Structure 1
Amino acid sequence: MNSHDRASGPLAPESDAAFPMMASRVDLLSQVLTLIKLRGELVFSAELTAPWALNFDAGSAYFHVMQDGAMRVSASDGRVIEAGPGDLLVLPQGRGHVIGTPDGKPVSARLVLFAQMKEESLTISLGGGGAATNLISGAFRFEGDNLPSMLAVLPSIIHISREALAEEAGWLDGLAHYLHAEARAPQSGAAIMISRLIDVLVIRAMRTWVHKAPPENKGWLGALADIRISRALKTIHDAPFERRSVAELADIAGMSRSSFAERFTSLIGAAPLHYQTRWRLLLANEMLKGGRTRVSDVARRVGYESDAAFSRAFKAQFGVSPVSVAHPEE
């Protein structure tokens, strides 16, 4: 057994309290979102007439609920979506995007919001007087040290059509109603209300998208809808400190070793053992925060017999040493 293979026994987690998700065995999407900490920031309504276009800078992520009209959405990676009435679009990566009519000249969304939004009404208007488009839009952020690894999970645009939404009993209509009310006339507690509504909208959008989009379009999250690969993922997440071989994971998935490794890597973007190690280090990063647990203890809990091996792997993953996470003031 080498320094990377220790996984269980007396040096495994001492209790489920070390990482609460282990006790409840929550689903994989919840585990990912727990680590990257979704936080809603802002909601506003937009009354737009053709031609128009808004450029959203990199930084916050955004969603757009199409109440009526039509628009083109262009992500920073070149992906373009044509959206119509009733559609929901979520741009989770925070890399910037443009929305508008094809003939619109983009103006800064940040400047328009700054100039037009008021405390008593979070509404903007823009355009040349042509065909109308009305939106409810909002900004949110993912926070946490695990962003680089976990945002790779998400596509540049999550597009859920009106037809797909119609199959799910109007959940978006209900959320949009309350978001619109907060944008039109914010009341006491608006900030926390908006944040919580955005949380629900984004999480529900991800869940719907996982089940509706073709597997080839899902990137990492496509694995959640792939029955065989999701079995292997669940095994890794339910017992993250028990190191398993590719052959063992393939057997759990009910696939040959080569087919499993190829399918897993194509969906996840990482080979099975690399992903297993990365997930354990993400959990280790959470354990170290606050300085309440010694680095050597965390190293043993996540399966490393050697502090030096753990430190090398941790620094390769996060670019900093585990000591600097546990004791940032030093």
Structure 2
Amino acid sequence: MDALSGLIDGTRAQSALLNRAILEPPWSLRIADGAPLALATAQRGYAWIVPDDAPPALLNEGDIAVIRGSDHYTVAHQPELTPQLIVHSSGRYTTLAGVDVTDELRTSTRTCGEGSADATVIMSGTYEVSGEVSARLLSALPRVLIVPGQETCRAAMNLLAAELSTDAPGQQVVLDRMLDVALAATLRAWFDRPDAQTPGWYRAQSDPVVGEALRLIHDDPSQPWTVASLADKVGASRATFARRFTGLVGEPPMAYLTGWRIAVAGDLLRTSDATIEAIARQVGYANAFALSVAFKRVRGVSPSRHRSSHLTA
């Protein structure tokens, strides 16, 4: 599994909230759902995405936007417009005064609003992502990224839009998987753009030496990898491999390996009831003590404290 696949695999949609909004200009929505990651497209018309901490970004018809971070932001017909409605985490709409108007706006299970041929149509989906692996992907993204409508991305969003228009059994599972496909296609298209500030691990995937080493690390962190063993696996000398890996990824092989192991361990501590000893062996540490030392050095807390903090959250 390549590095991007490994990170996206940790960011799967589960009962994702998908919605289509039909809006007559001039319109403005305050997005207060607190979702760590959102995907949106303008099916008709255009929209401005206006974060409080970043410049407005124009979403043209067919474009796809990924919005990172749980901070509130505005989506509007024009960036200077004052929001008329607030969108909450449950998909409910309220006025600025707090009056719930969802039922008045809802025209079908996942569609709000109706309008003329000039109305803007925005389709969006949100991810309630959490965990260490997901955080590694989110940290590589800007606050808002926009990918112009391309064949693969547009096809994925068109399939999602078609499914959103029906109300068939098992629909939520289908929508979740379609949203995953759309997100993966959009991120890959964005990372491949010449002007994108892509992280080192993504650029390194195309390197025959370092890319293979990244796949080995992601596929099997339980192996007792060393610089020498990784270099041997990819057919390079130890010195050449270490220099090449550091230059492309931005950190030495063992530092990257440790980061990945701790991320995987953090998610296992949060989502499974396996013992710390079992998790330690699963991510390449000899025993619970070795994992505890590494985990506390990287995260500042012990594995048991990390687990208990999520259980009480």
> TM-score under structure 2 normalisation?
0.73
Q: Sequence identity, in percent?
A: 23
The 2-side partners of 1:170 and 1:134 are apart by 17
The 1-side partners of 2:45 and 2:154 are apart by 22
Displacement after TM superposition at 1:176 (Å): 1.9
> Residue 89 of structure 1 aligns to a residue in which SS?
strand
Task: Give per-residue Cα distances to partners, 1:205-243, cap 9 Å, x unaligned.
Answer: 223333x42264233663365435533422322342333
The 2-side partners of 1:106 and 1:126 are apart by 18
- Higher RCO structure, 1 or 2 (CA under 8 Å, sep 6+): 1
The 1-side partners of 2:153 and 2:46 are apart by 22
The residue that corresponds to 2:127 in the other structure is 140
The 1-side partners of 2:296 and 2:53 are apart by 29
The code of the aligned residue for 1:91 comes to I
User: 2:187 matched to 1:206?
Assistant: yes
Equivalent of residue 45 in structure 1, options 20, 23, 33: 20
The 2-side partners of 1:154 and 1:302 are apart by 26
The code of the aligned residue for 1:155 comes to P
The residue that corresponds to 1:160 in the other structure is 147
Equivalent of residue 84 in structure 1, options 60, 84, 87: 60
> Residue 278 of structure 1 aligns to a residue in which SS?
helix
Consecutive unaligned residues in structure 2, runs of 5 or more = 95-99
The code of the aligned residue for 1:105 comes to T
> Residue 39 of structure 1 aligns to a residue in which SS?
coil
Aligned 8 A contact 2:190 2:196 in 1: no
The residue that corresponds to 1:109 in the other structure is 87
The code of the aligned residue for 2:161 comes to A
Displacement after TM superposition at 1:47 (Å): 1.8
The 2-side partners of 1:41 and 1:325 are apart by 26
User: 2:181 matched to 1:219?
Assistant: no
The residue that corresponds to 2:5 in the other structure is 30
Aligned 8 A contact 1:153 1:221 in 2: no
The 1-side partners of 2:133 and 2:218 are apart by 16
The 1-side partners of 2:176 and 2:136 are apart by 24
The 2-side partners of 1:34 and 1:168 are apart by 18
The 2-side partners of 1:203 and 1:44 are apart by 19
Task: Give per-residue Cα distances to partners, 1:242-264, cap 9 Å, x unaligned.
Answer: 33339948948996755642431
> TM-score under structure 1 normalisation?
0.70
Size of the alignment, in residue pairs? 292
- Relative distance call for 1:40 and 1:226 in structure 2 (3 A) is farther
The code of the aligned residue for 2:138 comes to L
Superposed counterparts of 1:169-318, under 5 Å: 170-179=155-164, 181-182=165-166, 186-210=167-191, 212-214=192-194, 216-219=196-199, 222-223=202-203, 226-227=206-207, 229-240=210-221, 241-245=223-227, 248=231, 251=236, 258=243, 260-265=245-250, 270-288=251-269, 290-293=272-275, 295-300=276-281, 302-305=283-286, 307-318=288-299
Displacement after TM superposition at 1:201 (Å): 2.2
The residue that corresponds to 1:13 in the other structure is none
